[in-house]
Structure 1
Amino acid sequence: MDVRGAVAVVTGASSGIGAATALRLHEAGARLVLQGRDGDRLAAIADRTGAIAIRADFAEPGAAEAAAEEIARRAERIDVLVNNAGLGWAGPVTEMSGPDVRRLLEVNLAAPLELTRALLPRLLARPRAAVVFVTSIAGRAGVAGECVYSATKAGVDMFAESLRLELAGTGVRVGVVVPGVVDTAFFARRGRPYQRRSPKPVPAVKVADAVLEAVTTGRAEQYVPRWLRLPTVVRATAPSVYRALSARFGGSS
Structure 2
Amino acid sequence: MRLDGKVALVTGGSAGIGAAVADHLAAAGAHVVVHGRDEERCAAVARRAGGTVVLGDLATPGAAAVLADAALAVHGRIDVLVANAGVGWSGPFRDLRADELDRLVTLDLLAPLHLVRCLLPPMLDRRDGHLALVGSVAGRTAVAGEAVYAATKAALDIFAESLRLELRDTGVSMSLTVPGVVDTGFFAARGRPYDRKRPKPVPAAVVARALVDGIANDRAETWVPSWLRVAPAVRALAPGLYRRLSARFGERV
Q: TM-score, normalised by structure 2?
A: 0.97
Matches within 5 A, 1:20-99: 20-99=20-99
User: Which residue of structure 1 aligns with residue 140 of structure 2?
Assistant: 140
Distance in 2 (alpha carbons) for counterparts of 1:100 and 1:205: 29
Matches within 5 A, 1:84-233: 84-233=84-233
- The answer for unaligned runs of 5 or more in structure 1 is none
Q: 1:252 Cα deviation (Å)? A: 4.2
Q: SS of the residue aligned with 1:195?
A: coil
Q: 1:214 Cα deviation (Å)? A: 1.2
Distance in 1 (alpha carbons) for counterparts of 2:122 and 2:40: 29
Q: CA offsets per residue over residues 199-238 of structure 1, 9 Å max, x none?
A: 0100000110111111111111011000000001111111
Q: Aligned partner of 1:152: which letter?
A: T
Q: 1:127 Cα deviation (Å)? A: 4.1
Q: CA offsets per residue over residues 132-180 of structure 1, 9 Å max, x none?
A: 1111000110000000000011111111111101111111111000000
Q: Aligned partner of 2:186: which letter?
A: F
Q: SS of the residue aligned with 1:236?
A: helix
- The answer for unaligned runs of 5 or more in structure 2 is none
- Cα distance change of structure 1 residues 252 and 22 upon mapping to structure 2, 3 Å threshold: farther
Q: Aligned partner of 1:245: which letter?
A: L
Q: Aligned partner of 1:129: which letter?
A: G
Q: 1:250 Cα deviation (Å)? A: 2.2
Matches within 5 A, 1:6-21: 6-21=6-21
Quote the sequence identity (%). Answer: 53
Distance in 2 (alpha carbons) for counterparts of 1:252 and 1:123: 43
